[in-house]
Chains A and B, each alone.
Chain A
Amino acid sequence: MLIAPEFDSRPVISFQQVWKTYPNGTDALRNICFTVPEGDYVFLVGASGAGKSSLIRLLIREEKPTRGRLFVRGQELGSLHRRQLPHFRRQVGLVFQDFKLLPRMTVHENVAFPLHALGESGRVIAHQVGAALETVGLAAMERSYPDELSGGEQQRVAIARALIHRPRLFIADEPTGNLDPATAWEIMQIIAHINATGVTVVMATHNREIVDVMRRRVVAMEHGQIVRDDRRGKYDEAYPAAALRR
């Protein structure tokens, strides 16, 4: 049995016996049970195919659980109507390994894009984009296009875009996967800063060094199951997986 760490604050994320089975019969997630309290910083670790990406897809409601219930900020995602999705996604900041910037838009336009979707005024957009770019240290590059930026700078633009709605939950899927070690640490410092403002962070990663140095909560996955959940964990601590499976 997995023991979720004890926290006083209410959970931002709550997986309750969640299963995800794909149409071909593969169980991508098996009986996932864990909670993430407000302000927590969680690393999701595990080999490729362990279920990290499936878990993140459920968290951003790209997919629904096959069984079980998943709550994010009190909303059960399985029963969320299509029309409620845009509102839900505006509460979550998302960052991906491949940045997902729109190549034909400038830095400013990329960051402003979610605000245009809300029909915000030019004044509000200018103010919020300026603040978000300030946070990631790219205020001077707002007129540049993504292909004029380094990988680290592109990821910082993506982070600024994720922060534009001032989310309380920040989800990053391998945000340092395409970056060199020095740049990866710059990104981690920005994410740590975001977490320090009270934003809950969930980050899937393969980067052993980062996990081991940061010493935050580590949720390790294997074959669609959570095999370890340590309050101040390391990437590679001896998995109790073998024991669990026995």
Chain B
Amino acid sequence: MKLIRQLLFAASSAWQNFWRNLAVSVAAVMSIALILMLAGTSLLLGHALGQVLDSYRHRVSVLTISIADNTPLPAVYDFEGQLQARPDVVSVRLITKDEELRTFASDPRNQQIIEQIEGNPLPAKIEVSVAHLDDIKRIDALARQWRGADRTDPTDYQGDFVTNMLRLSTWLTIAGLGMLTVLTVASVVIVMNTIRTAVYHRRDEIELMKLVGATEWFVRGPFVVEGVMTGVIAASLALGLLLATYRPFVDRFRAELFFLPLAYDPRFVPVLAQDLLVAGAALGAVGSYVGVRRFVRL
């Protein structure tokens, strides 16, 4: 019961202090909001890049093997079975010559060609989906060794593209982690110093609290609660601004760079909101805890 009363007192003190020191509170909110805007922007960019990369990754993680016209059907089934048995293969689909022609003919852009061709010059194909992008090179090598593969154009493997994709993906992950680390350190330092300034203005109050028998946690509590409050307000502000600009930005981007598979993703909004609110609360709490520590020590 006493603990609850102390917590309530800490919460009410935090609320009062937030409004009584409005100028410092606003400064703290603005600096945290700015940091969270940067973090949120990098999260959104990361998500957008992830979307683009996923789309390309999906495309290149499917290898199409062209089958030479004279290959006996049992040999095709046998090779299909071999592929299906591999742990690095997710799925295998056999596309007959007729299916391939139907698909080709269904594309309106190919109408003129269809009228000019005789018979079916298109090869039957085996479509192989792999679990990981780096597995595709092995499947490609296997397909090229198979006697049934079309000699002129055995697969649609785009070696350089896949390698570059993998390299880009790795670099983006490293850059993202680096940026996140820099942002985290910078934000803790900024928040800590902002809150330390606020605490410095109230050092007499803290001194008095200690002299009348308040415990370190009783003194620290209101500051930590105030830090959480500041962080959550800043996160809400940052989130509002990001959400207001996210969709217009994506629409503008798509209009300019229509070939990139970038789309507004409403499912990402709750994830972003949760990340920013948790980060804001954590930043405020850690910044206050560290900022107030020197003054609170009995």
Chain B residues whose CB sits within 8 angstroms of the CB of A60 once the complex forms: 211
Check A119/B213 contact, CB under 8 A, given A82-B298, A102-B208, A104-B20. no
Cα(A14)–Cα(B42), bound, Å = 64
Check A102/B213 contact, CB under 8 A, given A86-B298, A119-B5. no
Q: Is A238 an interface residue, CB under 8 A from the partner? A: no
Chain A residues whose CB sits within 8 angstroms of the CB of B213 once the complex forms: 86-90, 114, 117-118, 165
Q: Is A120 an interface residue, CB under 8 A from the partner? A: yes
Measured CB to CB, the closest approach of chain A to B208, in angstroms, equals: 5
A162: nearest residue on chain B (CB-CB)? B212
B3: nearest residue on chain A (CB-CB)? A119
Check A100/B208 contact, CB under 8 A, given A89-B213, A90-B213, A116-B9. yes
Best-buried of A83, A85, A90, A120 by chain B (most CB within 10 Å):
A85
Measured CB to CB, the closest approach of chain A to B1, in angstroms, equals: 8
Are A113's CB and B2's CB within 8 A?
no
Cα(A241)–Cα(B111), bound, Å = 119
Q: Is A161 an interface residue, CB under 8 A from the partner? A: yes
Are B211's CB and A121's CB within 8 A?
no
Chain A residues whose CB sits within 8 angstroms of the CB of B16 once the complex forms: 104
Cα(A114)–Cα(B211), bound, Å = 9
Q: Is B56 an interface residue, CB under 8 A from the partner? A: no
Are B212's CB and A120's CB within 8 A?
no
Best-buried of A118, A120, A161 by chain B (most CB within 10 Å):
A118
Chain A residues whose CB sits within 8 angstroms of the CB of B20 once the complex forms: 104
Would you give the 0/1 interface string for A77-101, flagging 1 where the beta carbon is closer than 8 Å to chain B?
0000011011111100010000010
Are B3's CB and A117's CB within 8 A?
no
Are B214's CB and A117's CB within 8 A?
yes
Would you give the 0/1 interface string for B25-40, flagging 1 where the beta carbon is closer than 8 Å to chain A?
0000000000000000
Q: Is B204 an interface residue, CB under 8 A from the partner? A: yes
Measured CB to CB, the closest approach of chain A to B150, in angstroms, equals: 80
Interchain CB contact (< 8 A) of A94 among B1, B2, B204, B212: B212
Are A86's CB and B205's CB within 8 A?
no
Check A89/B205 contact, CB under 8 A, given A104-B20, A118-B2, A119-B6. no
Q: Is B15 an interface residue, CB under 8 A from the partner? A: no
Would you give the 0/1 interface string for B1-15, flagging 1 where the beta carbon is closer than 8 Å to chain A?
111111001000000
Cα(A88)–Cα(B215), bound, Å = 11
Q: Is B246 an interface residue, CB under 8 A from the partner? A: no
Interchain CB contact (< 8 A) of A117 among B1, B212, B297: B212
Cα(A165)–Cα(B213), bound, Å = 10
Would you give the 0/1 interface string for A44-59, flagging 1 where the beta carbon is closer than 8 Å to chain B?
0000000000000000
Check A85/B298 contact, CB under 8 A, given A104-B20, A119-B2. yes
Q: Is B218 an interface residue, CB under 8 A from the partner? A: yes
Are A114's CB and B214's CB within 8 A?
yes
A121: nearest residue on chain B (CB-CB)? B5
Q: Is B209 an interface residue, CB under 8 A from the partner? A: yes
Q: Which residues of chain B from 191 to 216 have a CB within 8 Å of any chain A CB?
A: 204-205, 207-216
A81: nearest residue on chain B (CB-CB)? B298
Are A89's CB and B212's CB within 8 A?
yes
Best-buried of B3, B20, B209 by chain A (most CB within 10 Å):
B209
Are A102's CB and B214's CB within 8 A?
no
Chain B residues whose CB sits within 8 angstroms of the CB of A100 once the complex forms: 204, 207-208, 211
Check A161/B212 contact, CB under 8 A, given A118-B2, A119-B5, A119-B6. yes
Chain B residues whose CB sits within 8 angstroms of the CB of A113 once the complex forms: 209, 212
Cα(A19)–Cα(B140), bound, Å = 85
Cα(A102)–Cα(B208), bound, Å = 8
Chain A residues whose CB sits within 8 angstroms of the CB of B209 once the complex forms: 113, 117
The 25 listed contacts between A and B (C-beta, < 8 Å) are A82-B216, A83-B215, A85-B210, A85-B298, A87-B213, A88-B213, A89-B210, A89-B211, A89-B213, A94-B211, A94-B212, A100-B207, A104-B20, A114-B212, A114-B213, A116-B5, A116-B6, A117-B212, A117-B214, A117-B215, A117-B218, A118-B213, A119-B1, A119-B2, A120-B2
Of all A-B residue pairs in the complex, the 4 with the closest CB atoms, nearest first, are: A119-B2, A90-B213, A117-B214, A89-B213
Known interface pairs A116-B9, A117-B215; 10 further A-B residue pairs with C-beta atoms within 8 A, sorted by A's residue number: A60-B211, A86-B218, A100-B211, A102-B208, A113-B209, A114-B214, A117-B209, A117-B212, A119-B3, A165-B213
What residues of chain B have their CB less than 8 Å away from a CB belonging to chain A? Answer: 1-6, 9, 16, 20, 204-205, 207-216, 218, 297-298
What residues of chain A have their CB less than 8 Å away from a CB belonging to chain B? Answer: 60, 62, 82-83, 85-90, 94, 100, 102, 104, 113-114, 116-121, 161, 165
